[in-house]
Structure 1
Amino acid sequence: MILEHVSSPADIRELDIPHLRMLAAECRQVILDTCSINGGHLASNLGAVELTIALHMTLDTPTDQLVWDVGHQGYTHKLLTGRYKSFSTLRQCGGISGFVNPNESPYDTFLAGHASTSLSIAAGLLAARYLDGGNQRVVAVIGDGALSGGMALEALNNLGRAHGQCLVIVNDNAMSISRSVGGMAWALNRLRTRAWYLRVRESPLVGRGLRWLRTLLKRLYLPTIFFEELGFRYFGVVDGHDIGKLMEAINMVKDIQQPVVLQVATIKGKGYDLAERQPAHFHGVAPFLIENGLSKEEKSMPTYSDVFGETLIRLAETDQRIVAITAAMMDGTGLAEFARRFPDRCYDVGIAEQHAVGMAASLASRGYKPYVAVYSTFLQRAYDQIVNDVGIGNLPVRFAVDRAGLVSDDGPTHQGVFDVGFLKSVPGMTVCSPGDHRDFLRMLELSVAATGPFAIRYPKDVAYDLSEEIGERPPMIAGTGALVAEGSDVAIVSLGPVLRSALEARKILAGDGVQACVVDLRFAQPLDTGLLTRLAGTCQAVLVAEETTRSTGVYDAVVEVLVHAGMNIAYIGRCGVPDVFPVQDKRAHLLSSHQLDAQGLAGAARALLAGAERR
């Protein structure tokens, strides 16, 4: 096996094309085998195998600086840069990251976890190269879907006027997570399917005399004129699975002393038939069976994403003004069936969260009821629009904040532990988090009548129904919590699905003779100050449980209310994420490590009571 003898790209640079093809097949098989066990970003990595090999064959990495956009194209890169032997630990606690990370290898030029960042990183590297007097190459690899992101377009505007060598490789597979949408995707696809244009453009006849024909052809094909008018030289389209042609093309353009765009056509999911046929489904996978693609994890209960999609369809059937917007995450956010049922009321704007929120604000201003379904970690990119376009006008945009709280496997770039802080900082914003399936339904129903900004945050997890444990529930009114269980020793005040752990912790504490009260806060903003004030008079101590960081959660606001009501601050505790970026691990382990499981909450409650008794 060739890979067993590869500890750096230098080990492959003497291989001929037949052996490089063998190496590509080995990389593809290792990626497939590992993702079937660990889960991971499969289809995007299968499509980038030959491109990665060609880049390391033609560049002097790590001296030459190779920048990956998002980083979910980086598995072959990891295999070729000394991480083959540790590749089985991919996305595991203490193992190698699912994204490129300079803390892991000198070959990883810059941290990459979100889309559309690579070109800005390349611009900074070019500026540093100029100031340092260096001569290393700078090469950025960006997917066609990521070009829809505003940050990428801003960087193109800047990069096209840069001095010296700069190579931008557009890995064009007609996909982001879902299928690429918008004008840029349409125009790039025209070049993929009309390769004769490029042959004519470079013909001696056109080059010598018929300049008018060359200009006409350029104007017929938007990407060429778009890139060239910005200051880039454009080359393409190159078969992204032909290592020989890729090496030839990269060698031809890598030392041109001006910005260059090289368009490479690849197939997302290449080499695994099921992924080629269903690239969106196999973009990010849980452990699965290679022979049929079925998940190894039994799904006996719906997830919060499933519940969101199903409920929004039900609500939209009776309210024609409900519309849905997502940013390249139709499947992940549970909107795929909504899009099929209501194609004119569902918008996938591509990797463009800022645009999604701005568009939603405009729709809300015209009386529509927009639901923006975005992962928590990506909604961060639209904070300016949340404040200015939605918040100042108090417009009723509904935010369905998926993957909120602690998230499995993807590490610091994908943890949804900051959204409570940046959402509740917006005046007039309602921020809620359901404790279970039933309250999620009720919050979605409540949101339909919202008169101002309304955010519901929920995790990537099973939507448990706690009705048997909770019993009768109080009405779902904005700003009201629920006293779930009575007790006078310690109150566990939970926000979101950690309620399940709080109820289990109460049972554990009861075995120790401790009477624990459980409160489901439900709303991070506005807070139920009346309920919290009553706790200050009936319980010895209060423990706040939240899947947020210390400075962005509700703890400080809860403390303020309790202290104002006369409780000693020494009797108030917290379980949650400290002000750090959570590491990659399974969700259950992350909850346990931050004392957000039942045992952790029970232990923290005992310690808090012991301290109160000593005083």
Structure 2
Amino acid sequence: MILEHVSSPADIRGLDIPQLRTLAAECRQVILDTCSTNGGHLASNLGVVELTIALHMTLDTPTDQLVWDVGHQCYTHKLLTGRYKSFRTLRQCGGIGGFVNPNESPYDTFLAGHASTSLSIATGLVAARRLDGGNQRVVAVIGDGALSGGMALEALNNLGRAHGQCLVILNHNDMSISRSVGGMARALNRLRTRAWYLRARESPLVGRGLLWLRTLVKRLYLPTIFFEELGFRYFGVVDGHDIGKLIEAIDMVKDIQQPVVLQVLTVKGKGYELAERQPAYFHGVAPFLIENGLSKQEKSIATYSDVFGETLIRLAETDPRIVAITAAMMDGTGLAEFARRFPERCYDVGIAEQHAVGMAASLASRGYKPYVAVYSTFLQRAYDQIVHDVGIGGLPVRFAVDRAGLVSDDGPTHQGVFDVGFLKSVPGMTVCSPGDRADLVRMLELSAAAKGPFAIRYPKDAAYDLSEQLGERPPIVPGTGVMVADGRDVAIVSLGPVLRSALEARKILAGDGVQACVADLRFAQPLDTGLLTRLAGTCRAVLLAEETTRSTGVYDAVVGALVRSGMNISCIGRCGVPDAFPVQDKRAHLLSTYQLDAEGLACAAHALLAGADRR
């Protein structure tokens, strides 16, 4: 096996083309085997195997600086840069990450995890090289989906004016996570469908009189003019699975002393037939069976994303003003069926969170009820629009904040622990988090009648229904929490689905002779200070459980309310994420790490009561 003997890119530079093809097949099989066991980003990595090999064949990495957009397509890159032996630990606690990270390897030029950042990073590297007097090459790899992001387009506008070498590899597979959308995608895709012109332009023109025709056809049918007008030289199109042609093309353009775009056509999911047929489904996978693609994990309980999608469909059936917007996350946010049912009322705007929120604000101003379904980690990209376009006008835009709280496997770039902080900083914003499935349904129903901005946050997790355990609960009213279990020793106050852990912790404490009450805050803003005051008058200590960092959660507001009611600050505790980025791990392990599981909450309650007894 060739791959077993590769500890750095230098080890592949003496291989011939047949050997490189063998290496590509080996990389593809290792990626497939590992993703089937650990989960991961499968289809995108299968699509860039040959391209990655060609880049490391032709560049002097890590001296030459290779920047990956998003970074989720870096698996072959990791296999070729000394991480083959540790690759089985991919996305595991203490193992190698699923994205590029310079703390992991000097071959990882810059941290990545979000889309559309690579060209800005490359622009900075080019500027630094000029200031330093260096001569290393700068190469950025970006997909056509990521090129739809505003940050990438802003960078193109500047990078084209840069001095010196910079190579942009445009990995064109007509996909981001799902199929790429928008005018940019259509323009780029014309290159795939105009092969007759690509062949014709390589033929010598007879006579100067036909020059105008070539120029006219080029301007009518090809988007190359877009790049050239921005200051780039454009080359392409290259078969992204032909290693020989890739090496030849990269060698030809890598030392041109001006910004260059090289377009490469790839197939997302290449080499695994199921992924080629369903690239969106196999973009990010849980452990699965290679023979049929079915998940190894039994899904007996609907997720919060599922419940959101189902409930929104039900609401939309009777309210034609409800519309849904997502940013390249149609499947992940649970909107796929909504899009099939109401195609004219569902908008996938591509990797464009700022645009999504601005568009939603405009729709809200015209009497529609927009729901922006977006992952917490990506919503932070649209903070200005949340404040300026939505908040100042008090427009009733609804935010379905998916993947809020602690997120499995993807590490610090994808954690959803900051949204409460930046959302509740907006005056007039309602921020809530359901304790279970039933409360998510009720919060969505409540949001449909909202008169101002309204955010509902929930994790990537099973949506348990606690109705049988809790009995009938009072209606959800903005700014009100609910007492769900009585006790007089310690109050465990939860925000969101950590409610289930709080109830389990109560049972553990009861076995230790401690009577705990459990309260569900439901709302981070407005905060139910009345409930907190009642708890202070009833219990010896209060413990807050929240899936946020300390400074971005509600802890400070809770402490303020409790102190004003006369409670000693030493009787107030918190379980949650500290002011640090959560590490790569499974969600269950992360909850345990931050004492947000039942055992952790019970232990923290004991410690808090011991401190209260000493005061």
Give distance in 2, aligned partners of 1:476 and 1:43.
42
Matches within 5 A, 1:20-419: 20-205=20-205, 210-419=210-419
Give distance in 1, aligned partners of 2:386 and 2:203.
51
Q: What secondary structure does 1:97 align onto? A: coil
Give 1:197 shift. 2.2
Cα displacement string for residues 581-610 of structure 1 (whole angstroms, at most 9, x for unaligned residues)? 000000000000000000000000000001
| Conservation of the 8 A alpha-carbon contact between 1:323 and 1:369 | yes
Give 1:204 shift. 3.0
One-letter amino acid of the counterpart of residue 558, structure 1: V
Give distance in 1, aligned partners of 2:464 and 2:229.
54
Counterpart of 2:531 in structure 1 is: 531
Matches within 5 A, 1:505-524: 505-524=505-524
Counterpart of 1:602 in structure 2 is: 602
One-letter amino acid of the counterpart of residue 488, structure 1: R
Give distance in 2, aligned partners of 1:30 and 1:425.
46
Give distance in 1, aligned partners of 2:237 and 2:182.
20
| Conservation of the 8 A alpha-carbon contact between 2:205 and 2:211 | no
One-letter amino acid of the counterpart of residue 576, structure 1: G
Give 1:206 shift. 7.3
Give 1:222 shift. 4.5
Give distance in 2, aligned partners of 1:73 and 1:203.
36
Give distance in 2, aligned partners of 1:469 and 1:419.
29
Give 1:208 shift. 6.1
Counterpart of 2:555 in structure 1 is: 555
Give distance in 1, aligned partners of 2:223 and 2:442.
47
One-letter amino acid of the counterpart of residue 169, structure 1: I
| Conservation of the 8 A alpha-carbon contact between 1:195 and 1:237 | no
Give 1:203 shift. 3.4
Give distance in 2, aligned partners of 1:173 and 1:564.
59
Cα displacement string for residues 191-245 of structure 1 (whole angstroms, at most 9, x for unaligned residues)? 0121232333343327966331232122113521100000111111110000001
Give distance in 2, aligned partners of 1:190 and 1:179.
15
Give distance in 1, aligned partners of 2:49 and 2:206.
35
Q: What secondary structure does 1:168 align onto? A: strand
Give distance in 2, aligned partners of 1:211 and 1:233.
19
| Structure 2: stretches of 5+ with no match in the other structure | none
Q: What secondary structure does 2:305 align onto? A: helix
Aligned residues: percent identity? 90
| Conservation of the 8 A alpha-carbon contact between 1:206 and 1:213 | no
Cα displacement string for residues 49-71 of structure 1 (whole angstroms, at most 9, x for unaligned residues)? 00000000111111110000001
Give distance in 2, aligned partners of 1:606 and 1:531.
22
One-letter amino acid of the counterpart of residue 316, structure 2: A
Counterpart of 1:484 in structure 2 is: 484
Q: What secondary structure does 1:92 align onto? A: coil
Give 1:469 shift. 1.8
Give distance in 2, aligned partners of 1:606 and 1:361.
47
Cα displacement string for residues 488-541 of structure 1 (whole angstroms, at most 9, x for unaligned residues)? 110000000000000000000011111101000000000011111111111110
Give distance in 2, aligned partners of 1:3 and 1:209.
54
| Conservation of the 8 A alpha-carbon contact between 1:303 and 1:462 | yes
Give distance in 2, aligned partners of 1:590 and 1:18.
45
One-letter amino acid of the counterpart of residue 189, structure 1: N
Cα displacement string for residues 395-421 of structure 1 (whole angstroms, at most 9, x for unaligned residues)? 000000000000000000000000000
| Conservation of the 8 A alpha-carbon contact between 2:309 and 2:333 | yes
Give distance in 1, aligned partners of 2:161 and 2:211.
24
Give distance in 1, aligned partners of 2:221 and 2:260.
17
One-letter amino acid of the counterpart of residue 410, structure 2: D
Give 1:163 shift. 0.8
Counterpart of 2:469 in structure 1 is: 469
One-letter amino acid of the counterpart of residue 12, structure 1: I
Give 1:441 shift. 0.4
One-letter amino acid of the counterpart of residue 224, structure 2: T
Counterpart of 1:435 in structure 2 is: 435
Give 1:101 shift. 0.5
Give distance in 1, aligned partners of 2:232 and 2:196.
21
Cα displacement string for residues 142-194 of structure 1 (whole angstroms, at most 9, x for unaligned residues)? 01000010000000000011111110010000000010000011111100121
Give distance in 1, aligned partners of 2:395 and 2:535.
34
| Conservation of the 8 A alpha-carbon contact between 1:101 and 1:110 | yes
Give 1:311 shift. 0.5
Q: What secondary structure does 1:497 align onto? A: coil
Give distance in 1, aligned partners of 2:304 and 2:227.
42
| Conservation of the 8 A alpha-carbon contact between 1:144 and 1:172 | yes
Give 1:359 shift. 0.3
Give 1:430 shift. 0.2
Give distance in 1, aligned partners of 2:206 and 2:374.
48
Q: What secondary structure does 1:152 align onto? A: helix
Q: What secondary structure does 1:205 align onto? A: coil
Counterpart of 2:14 in structure 1 is: 14
Cα displacement string for residues 60-89 of structure 1 (whole angstroms, at most 9, x for unaligned residues)? 111110000001110000000000000000
Runs of 4+ aligned structure 1 residues displaced above 4 Å come to 206-209
Q: What secondary structure does 2:394 align onto? A: coil
Give distance in 2, aligned partners of 1:209 and 1:377.
56
Q: What secondary structure does 1:582 align onto? A: coil
Give distance in 1, aligned partners of 2:299 and 2:208.
64
Q: What secondary structure does 1:602 align onto? A: helix
Cα displacement string for residues 239-296 of structure 1 (whole angstroms, at most 9, x for unaligned residues)? 0000001111111111111111011000000000000000000000000000000000
Give distance in 2, aligned partners of 1:258 and 1:2.
36
Cα displacement string for residues 527-573 of structure 1 (whole angstroms, at most 9, x for unaligned residues)? 01111111111111000000000000000000000000110111000
Normalization by structure 2: what TM-score?
Answer: 0.99
Cα displacement string for residues 442-468 of structure 1 (whole angstroms, at most 9, x for unaligned residues)? 000000000000000000000001112
Counterpart of 2:591 in structure 1 is: 591
One-letter amino acid of the counterpart of residue 39, structure 2: G
- Cα distance change on mapping 1:146 and 1:206 into 2, 3 Å: farther
Counterpart of 1:565 in structure 2 is: 565
Q: What secondary structure does 1:332 align onto? A: coil
Normalization by structure 1: what TM-score?
Answer: 0.99
Cα displacement string for residues 371-425 of structure 1 (whole angstroms, at most 9, x for unaligned residues)? 0000000001000000000000000000000000000000000000000000000
Query: Mean Cα displacement is larger for which, 198-207 or 501-510?
Result: 198-207
Give 1:484 shift. 0.5
Give distance in 2, aligned partners of 1:570 and 1:186.
61
Give distance in 1, aligned partners of 2:573 and 2:300.
35
Q: What secondary structure does 1:325 align onto? A: strand
Give 1:6 shift. 0.1
Give distance in 1, aligned partners of 2:207 and 2:416.
54
| Structure 1: stretches of 5+ with no match in the other structure | none
Give distance in 1, aligned partners of 2:498 and 2:347.
32
Q: What secondary structure does 1:347 align onto? A: strand
